[in-house]
Every structure is written in C-alpha cells, then in structure tokens.
Structure 1
Amino acid sequence: VADPNRREDARVGRWADALADYVAGRSKMPAPPMDIRGTPFQFAVWEQLRAIPAGETRSYSEIARRIGRPRAIRAVGTANSTNPVSIVIPCHRAIRASGHLGGYRWGLDRKRKLLEMESQKPNP
C-alpha cells in the first residue's frame, strides 16, 4: 500500500517534463494518473474537453449538447472553470458560440497562446 505522505518527486517530475514537451509541441498529450474529485456532471464536461483534438475548439453549448444537457450551458462553463488540472483537461479549448474566446482562469492571452501553439504544431 502506497504511503500517502511519501513524496514522489521523480515520478511527478517525469510527468511535468512530459507536459512541458507537449506544450512545446514535441510530443502528444500524456495521460498522467490523476486523482481528481468532481461531480458526475463535471466529469462528463471534462471528458468532452479531453475529446477535443489539439488545435480545435468547441463551444460551451456544443459541449452541453454532447453530454445530453443542451440547456446547461452556464453549468458547462462553471465545470470548465473548476477544472483542477488545466492542460491535461484542456479547458482552454472551450469557447463561446459566437467564436469569442470567453474567459480563462489564467487570462485570455494565455488561452490564445495555447490555442495558437496547438494549431501550429505537428501532432506527433
């Protein structure tokens, strides 16, 4: 049984390096083990976000339709903004139906940059 108080710096470092390689366009999105908490609704939204290919976006309303809750657009936005592992669950790929970026916890400049990077890099 794993000791929950034991640090695993080397293991975490490998995943951090893998995420850095992804953001830099050198590799595909890694699938690190995650222990995140959320409601079934949040997990449905987060699963849809992970299904969006790099370089593409989906509107909050489209995500709501895909999870079978077409009127829950604002709730989708809330679930998106409470995502605890940005990049791994790519909340930056959710936009407004108008095509505008909408909000982003880490600022619209960063959201824009992430989308630009994803659309320009080859997908290894």
Structure 2
Amino acid sequence: MLTALSAAVIIALIVLGVVLRYRMFPPLPRKIASLDDAERVVHYHVDAANRRLRRDAWMLTFVVSHLDVERRLVSVRLGIHYRQRGYPDYVRGFQQAWANARIMLRAKENIAAAFAKRAFQAEIETFT
C-alpha cells in the first residue's frame, strides 16, 4: 500500500515529466527556420480543427508552399474536403457546411496568429 509520501513523490515525478516533455520538445517550434517548422505550426492547428470536423466526415488539408525567412513571409494553402464518395448535400446540410466553413476560418485565424507570434506574415489562401 502506498503511503502519502510515496504517492506525493510519484505525482511530483509525473508532473515533472510532463513539464520537461513540453519544455524540451514543444508541439509548436519556438523559431521558424525551415519549411518543416512552418509545416509543424500549420499541422498543429489543422489537426485541432480536424478533431472538430471528423464527426461530419469533413477534413482540412494544407500545403505550405513558400517560406521566405529573410522577408519573414510564409504562404499557406488551406482547403476543406468532404471525405466520402460523391458530394455533400449542400442544400439540406447548409447549416452544417456553414459551421464547417467557420471552423476552417477559425483555423485560418489561428494559423495567422501563430505565425504573427513568431514575427512572420502569413499569406493564407483557402480553397474547397
């Protein structure tokens, strides 16, 4: 049976492990030095949006097409796709399509804000 002291030590080690994991290997890069770092930033926000869209069989996709480190400029194409065969019923599902488009625009704003924190200007083009 665990005593209170050993339980406290175990909890402290778990908290320390979580803090070190996110301090040493953050999900978002602190600096953007390559196209891969830019893709990690976009991928993080697109995955967050896709978790909201998954139940409706919609999916966001992206392409980081250009990164200019000297001019601090990044170009991103962000699209929304329906994953099932055929096309979604836009007439009956207009409210669903509208809500999903709002999720895409919120992801676009989050991506632009994430790049602005790192002193980059993001040119984000959306497509369907």
TM-score, L = length of structure 2:
0.37
**Larger CA Rg, structure 1 vs 2:** 2
More helix by share: 2
More strand by share: 2
* Larger relative contact order, structure 1 or 2 (CA cutoff 8 Å, min sep 6): 1
